[in-house]
C-alpha cells in the first residue's frame, strides 16, 4: 500500500514526498482511464444490441404498425442517441492520457535512477 505524504518519515527529502504525490496522481489517472475504457466497451455492446433490436422492431412496425411497437421504437432510438452522445463526448484521446503517461515515464525513470544511486551507496 503506498504511503501517504503525511505518513512519510520526517527526514524524507521533499523530492521524495513530491514523487509519492505525483505517483499517486498518476495511479488515480490510470484508474480513471481504465474505468472509462470499460464503460466505453459496455456502451458499444449495448449500442450493437439496441441496433439489432431497432431493426427487428422497425420490421415489426412495417408488418403490424401498432402504437406499442411505435413507442418501443422511439424508446430504442432515444437510448441509442443517448449512448452515441455519451461515446462521442467522453471518448478519451491521446491528449487526455498524454500527461499521466509522460508523468509515469518520467517518475518511473526517476525511481530507477534513485534506486541505482542508493544501490551504489549501499553496495
Range 83-101 average pLDDT: 69
**88 has pLDDT over 80:** no
User: pLDDT grade, residue 12 (50/70/90)?
Assistant: low
Distance CA 38, CA 12 (A): 38
C-alpha closest to that of 21 among 7, 1, 4:
4
pLDDT in tens, 45-74: 999 999 999 999 999 989 988 999 899 999
User: What is the share, in percent, of the chain residues with pLDDT greater than 70?
Assistant: 80
**8 has pLDDT over 70:** no
pLDDT in tens, 30-40: 888 888 888 88
Q: Which of 2-11, 15-24, 72-81, 82-91 has the lowest mean pLDDT?
A: 2-11
Please report where in the chains the cell 439489432 appears, as a residue.
Answer: 52
Judging by beta carbons within 10 Å of its beta carbon (0-12, 13-18, 19+), is residue 72 exposed, middle or buried?
middle
Average pLDDT, the chain: 80
Residue 76's CB is within 10 A of a number of other CB atoms, namely 19
CA distances from 113 to 6, 20, 44, 116, 123 (A): 24, 15, 42, 5, 15
Residue 34's CB is within 10 A of a number of other CB atoms, namely 10
Amino acid at each position: 500500500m503506498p504511503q501517504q505524504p503525511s505518513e512519510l518519515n520526517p527526514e524524507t527529502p521533499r523530492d521524495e514526498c513530491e514523487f509519492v504525490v505525483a505517483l499517486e496522481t498518476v495511479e488515480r489517472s490510470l484508474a480513471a482511464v481504465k474505468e472509462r475504457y470499460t464503460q466505453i466497451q459496455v456502451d458499444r455492446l449495448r449500442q450493437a444490441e439496441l441496433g439489432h433490436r431497432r431493426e427487428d422492431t422497425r420490421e415489426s412496425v412495417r408488418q403490424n404498425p401498432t402504437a406499442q411497437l411505435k413507442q418501443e421504437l422511439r424508446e430504442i432510438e432515444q437510448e441509442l442517441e443517448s449512448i452515441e452522445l455519451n461515446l462521442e463526448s467522453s471518448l478519451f484521446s491521446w491528449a487526455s492520457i498524454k500527461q499521466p503517461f509522460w508523468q509515469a515515464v518520467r517518475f518511473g525513470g526517476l525511481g530507477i535512477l534513485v534506486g541505482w544511486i542508493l544501490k551504489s551507496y549501499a553496495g
